[in-house]
A and B are shown apart, each in its own frame.
Chain A
Amino acid sequence: DQQVKQNSPSLSVQEGRISILNCDYTNSMFDYFLWYKKYPAEGPTFLISISSIKDKNEDGRFTVFLNKSAKHLSLHIVPSQPGDSAVYFCAATSTKTGNEFYFGTGTSLTVIP
């Protein structure tokens, strides 16, 4: 059963606007969350992460929000740029009980110039 879900397979956004990518998880033991970015023919690369002791983490144009009660996190990209066009994967893990990262199915973001 998929423990990490990304229900939007794709998203299109105009350059300069905000991109919001969503992710839901089911395992209440998850306490560390990551976003990865993947370009075609390349492996995923780490983008930003958040620990469950926080509800927000910001790195430049990228901000991740965590809502533990809803088991939901989101990635905001502001402003969106054409180079942000890629597939974004959400990942989660438990630092107390787990040894592995669980990934979602990915959201393909297209930023239109």
Chain B
Amino acid sequence: DAGVIQSPRHEVTEMGQEVTLRCKPISGHNSLFWYRQTMMRGLELLIYFNNNVPIDDSGMPEDRFSAKMPNASFSTLKIQPSEPRDSAVYFCASTPTSGVRVGTEAFFGQGTRLTVV
């Protein structure tokens, strides 16, 4: 398996523009997570899907952020409009189980480095 695939790897955009980050989870995995890595908060959970359904989006910073999972093999994280403080590395991760159990681990993609200027 190719693992969790994210695109693009790098994105530079101007403030106010719409940004869409993409994720393909590992085939057969039931849960998908979007994380944002910052120095202050480490890996911060933004939203979690279980079987394509958003379960917890309390980590989404504000209404400018939205995420979708139209099917089991694809998810997007959209920021509209983007702001310089959104600059960070965004990771997508998936797990084979619905909910976490002993022995469950999250498999991460390589991340998208977003720079908003």
Contact = CB atoms under 8 A, between A and B. Distances in A.
Main secondary structure of the interface of A (DSSP, over half): loop
A99 B48 contact: yes
Given A49-B105, A95-B101, A105-B40, A100 B33 contact: yes
B79 to A, nearest CB: 20
Contact of B105 (A34, A42, A43, A98): A34
A25 interface: no
Contacts, number: 76
B42 A105 contact: yes
11 contacts: A32-B104, A42-B111, A43-B91, A43-B108, A51-B102, A95-B101, A95-B102, A99-B56, A99-B99, A103-B44, A104-B43
B75 interface: no
A46 B109 CA distance: 12
Interface of B: 4, 31, 33, 35, 39-45, 48, 50, 55-56, 91, 93, 98-111
B110 to A, nearest CB: 5
Interface in A3-19: 4, 6
B106 to A, nearest CB: 6
Contacts of A44: 43, 91, 108
